[in-house]
Every structure is written in C-alpha cells, then in structure tokens.
Amino acid sequence: MSERLKGKVALITGGTSGIGEDTARLFSQEGAQVVIVGRSEEKGKKIGLKLGKNVVYKKADITIEKEISDSVDFTINTFGKMDILFNNAGYGIADNVAEISQEQIDYGLGLLSSVILGIKYAVEPMKAIGGGCIINNSSVAGHVYGQGSPLYSALKSAVSHYTRMAGVSLGSFNIRVNAISPGAIATPIFWGGSQRANTLSEKENERKMEKLKVNLAKAVPLAKTGLAEDISEAALYLASDAGRFVTCHDLVVDGGRSVAYNEPHQS
C-alpha cells in the first residue's frame, strides 16, 4: 500500500458493516488510525480485532447528539486528533406519500441531523490542526427519481445540499466537505440489513449476495455490480491529498445508473 493516509486519524460512523466497514479496512491499510462507530458492539469489536490495533470500535447511536459529540471526543482522546470524518451511518427508509407516519419522518430527520451535528462537532477539532476532511454519504436517490422512496430521496438531497453549504462555510479553515452518492451497492441492506444478515448462515448470505450482484448488474450501463470497495475507494480519494482541491462536491459512484436506469430483472 502507498500509505496515502499516513499520520491521519479518521472517525467513521456506521462502521460495523458494508461501506463503513470496508472504508475502515482501506483507510487503515493506507496508514490511518480509525475509530468506527455503530450500535452493534459484538460486530464492532470483531471488526476491530480483524483489522488490527489501528482500528478501534466505539459504541454509539448517532441519532443522539450526545453520542455524536462523545464519539468525536473519544477519537481525539484515543488518537490525539481527528483529520477525517465520514458521516456514513444510515439505511433505507421505506415510505409511501399517502401513508407516511410521523415515526418515519422523525427517524429520517434523525439520520439527517446526524450529518449536520457530525459536521458541527468536527469543526473545532479540525480547526485546531489546521484543517480536515468531512465526507457525507448521500445517494443517487437525492439526484433523480426512482432510486429510493420519497422521504429517503428528499433527505439524501438535503445531505448533498448541506454538504455544499458547509463546504463554503468551512473553506477558509481548510476544512473540505464533500459527499459521495452511491448507486445500488451490493450489501445486505437489500435483504433486511446487517441485523437480518446476522440471522442467516454464511452460505445463505453468499447465495443472496450472488443473486443480488447478477440483478444489479442488469440495471447499469457498465453492466457490473457496485461493491462497498467502490465507495471506500472514492472516500479514500476525497480524504487523501489527491483530493486536496476538491470541496463542496457530490461524487456520484453508480456505474451510470442515475443517467440510464433500468429496473433490474428478477431471476
């Protein structure tokens, strides 16, 4: 590895599965010290052990403001500073315009507030070290119709726009703020999320994943499936010195799906 993040410290929310877990793997391989945040203590500790001493798990629910600020404090107390924040946590919200509930709205707004508050609590630590990089996980659902449910799509659009506004506000402090908008990435979220995947055998999860990859590949011009590593590589670019002149940007990583979308054929 080229150690593109040597000497950097990163906090990754939603770091116990999928994109967050793979980003923790890649960042640590590239020389960063990493704190992963998530609600599943068992999974978090296992990932920390698997990835080595430079990856530490912190249990937190990022829909609670105090636990966001505690996660930032924990990162600084553990590794001395925080150069990178990846606001990655969150998952799909199934809603219907005619039947949407206040509970669904409150939950969705809680996920949006986790991005806003994550940025808030990152500002002073990053100013103290002369700058930093914030990455927010958005979605192509926030760009075009048909990529997610109405509330989810609206909230992701808000993430992308808040990214631009924060990037302008924080630019003079050398704090870069960018978003990544993945297309359909093959993760267990498609069959019930990480909790559901934990109840199935490894063989059954592998079977579902292979079927998913075939179906998703049919829906993009590149005719291939997006994987967690495609998003972690994008995050590495934005977090590294290669992305030093990039801010207020929403990087779409979707194999062309948002331009020419076809509903995947079920097989």
The CA distance from 190 to 256, in Å, is: 20
The CA distance from 62 to 118, in Å, is: 9
List the catalytic residues. 152
DSSP structure class, residue 48? H
Q: What are the DSSP calls for 206-262, one per residue?
A: HHHHHHHHHHHHTTSTT-S-B-HHHHHHHHHHHHSGGGTT--S-EEEESTTTTTS--
Query: From start to end of the chain, where are the E strands?
Result: 9-13, 33-38, 55-59, 84-87, 132-137, 175-182, 250-253
Neighbour tally for 232: CB within 10 Å: 24
Tokens in use for 84? 């990178």
